[in-house]
Chains A and B, each alone.
Chain A
Amino acid sequence: MISPAVNAAYDVESLRAEFPVLGEQVHGKSLVYFDNAATTQKPKQVIEAVDHYYRAYNSNVHRGAHMLSSLATEAQENAREALRAHINARRAHEVVFTAGTTASLNMAAGSLGQLLLKPGDEVLVTAMEHHANIVPWQFACERHGAKLKVVPITGEGELDLPVIPGLPRNPGLFTDQPGQAPNPGLFTDRTKILAIAHVSNTLGTINPVKELVAEAKRRGIATVVDGAQAIAHLPVDVQDLGCDLYAFSGHKMYAPTGIGVLYGREELLEQMPPWSGGGEMIDRVTFERTTYAGLPFKFEAGTPHIAGIIGLGAAVNWIESRGKEAMAAHEEALLEHATETLSAIDGLRIIGTAAKKVGVVSFVVEGVHHSDLGTLLDQQGIAVRTGHHCTQPLMQCFNITGTTRASFAPYNTIGEVDAMVAATRRAVNMLR
């Protein structure tokens, strides 16, 4: 019997009590929510902050000459400051509010593409990117006549890189002379932008972003990091990472949907052209010429998702009160236990076995279709995601059509992992 390495001091029950939805039943069974990489549940502190805003001081920001507007504006800017501190940005105006990671990456690709890309230039992404960090770059490449290049991955689901100690693969990656097998130098003198996931949503792999960014920076390449899956699970320090832009979504860090962030290094944001036009983002408008507002408002056209921003600020405060490290250690114990117990199922193969992972376990079972498994797990009260997880190119690398993915959060328990494993065994028996 495997005895899971759970820290006795970690009070998962008191943490669960803060998430009202965890008390729900599905198909007559207690909910086991393992779809946290898609969206996390919300603690009552976040729900109450949003509720309180609508009940007590709903108003537009930066516009009204009245008390409620000042309160709403203050709450929005407090949230911005909380986010600044959380990711250790130098200035609060480096935190731009967007609708989410997808919106952030579209803005990054659109605006940075316009600033940097010329015909024949190259944008480098990786084989494990979410479609949200592929398609906007395809748009930008098409618009400016640039080319998309891809960093390959290994069978374990790690980036195939030479710079990582102990992984002396593909010395060609960092050469300026293309043509070396198997992967000709991916960074060339035409590479203008590197866009990379901090953590893979399908595999859980934690990428060596800091090292890659340092290498890119040395070559004058702009760096964009998709932090959607990192922000709730890893300490994120944008100054330490050194990246130019960092994108994430509120809803994957216990906050509402429809709100997210694009962090940008001040000097770069100043140079980047605005991406959408409208109210709030201007300084002066005439029909002949418009001048833009300063940061961050240049990138925040229109009325923002004020309730979402306030909820996001509350989520950051909640994370900090609970401690990201303690929660991450708990998730790691869940991951370890799930990996061991799932692996014991006959014919089950884990997709994504990188040395450094967050609490995501994707797997396939021989002779069993992931959608059948997902259906039968749901019947047993267990919520997972099945399919390609918006990473179709990655599925092609592994030559599979999809996986079943369980992704963990601080409120999950070892007992729930055991329930999932038992339910998986039962489902597999029915399906084979």
Chain B
Amino acid sequence: MTTPIAQIQQELVDEFAMFQDWQDRYEHLIGMAKGLQTIDPSRKLDDNLVRGCQSRVWLHGEKVDGKVCFTADSDALITKGIVALLVRVYSGHTPQEILGASSEFIDRIGLRQHLSPNRANGLSAMIDQMKHYALAFSA
């Protein structure tokens, strides 16, 4: 049984709620970046770049046993942490689950108000890209 998306989101909200200050929050994100299952180097193609990010972010989705699996990478560490967080939430679920999932947990984590406008755009672009893959795989 895979953990439902909403439950993973709640776990993340709880995790981030433990942190008192910005430094802990960002160190946690950086830790997540370091734990990310990175994209196969052969898939670091311009076609897999997420548009709308200041740093380069590659995202690849694959359908394995009816579930969408994401791998990603970025040349910036915090961005990589953000994409790692999203991979933890959305990877390993069916296209329908991904398409039906809400993204309001981002606001509950309190991440958005700590991101610059271009990072916040980048984050939305990453979620859009994941949903785009899910849509393509749902056909």
Contacts and interface: CB of A to CB of B under 8 A. Distances in A.
Interface stretch (B38-46, B99-107, B111-119): B111-119
Interface residues of A, number: 16
A430 B22 contact: no
B54 interface: yes
Contact of A430 (B26, B54, B79, B115): B26
Contacts of A379: 22-23, 26, 114
Contacts of B22: 27, 379-380
Interface stretch (B8-16, B61-69, B70-78, B131-139): B70-78
Contact of A375 (B23, B27, B75, B78): B78
- Chain B at the A interface: SS class: helix
Between B26, B30, B76, the greatest number of chain A beta carbons within 10 A of the residue's beta carbon is seen for B76
A371 B26 contact: no
A375 B115 contact: yes
B55 interface: yes
Interface residues of B, number: 16
Given A430-B30, A431-B30, A371 B54 contact: yes
Interface string A330-369: 0000000000000000000000000000000000000011
A387 interface: yes
Nearest to B75: A369
Contact of B116 (A378, A380, A430): A378
A374 interface: yes
B78 A372 contact: yes
A376 interface: yes
Given A387-B54, A430-B26, A431-B30, A371 B114 contact: no
B49 to A, nearest CB: 13
A369 B75 CA distance: 7
Interface in A376-428: 376, 378-380, 386-387, 401
Contacts of B30: 430-431
B76 to A, nearest CB: 4
Contact of B114 (A27, A368, A369, A431): A27
B114 A372 contact: no
Nearest to A29: B22
B116 to A, nearest CB: 6
A408 to B, nearest CB: 21
25 contacts: A368-B77, A369-B55, A369-B77, A369-B79, A371-B54, A371-B55, A371-B119, A372-B55, A372-B76, A372-B77, A372-B78, A372-B79, A374-B116, A375-B26, A375-B116, A376-B26, A379-B22, A379-B23, A379-B114, A380-B22, A401-B75, A430-B23, A430-B27, A430-B30, A431-B30
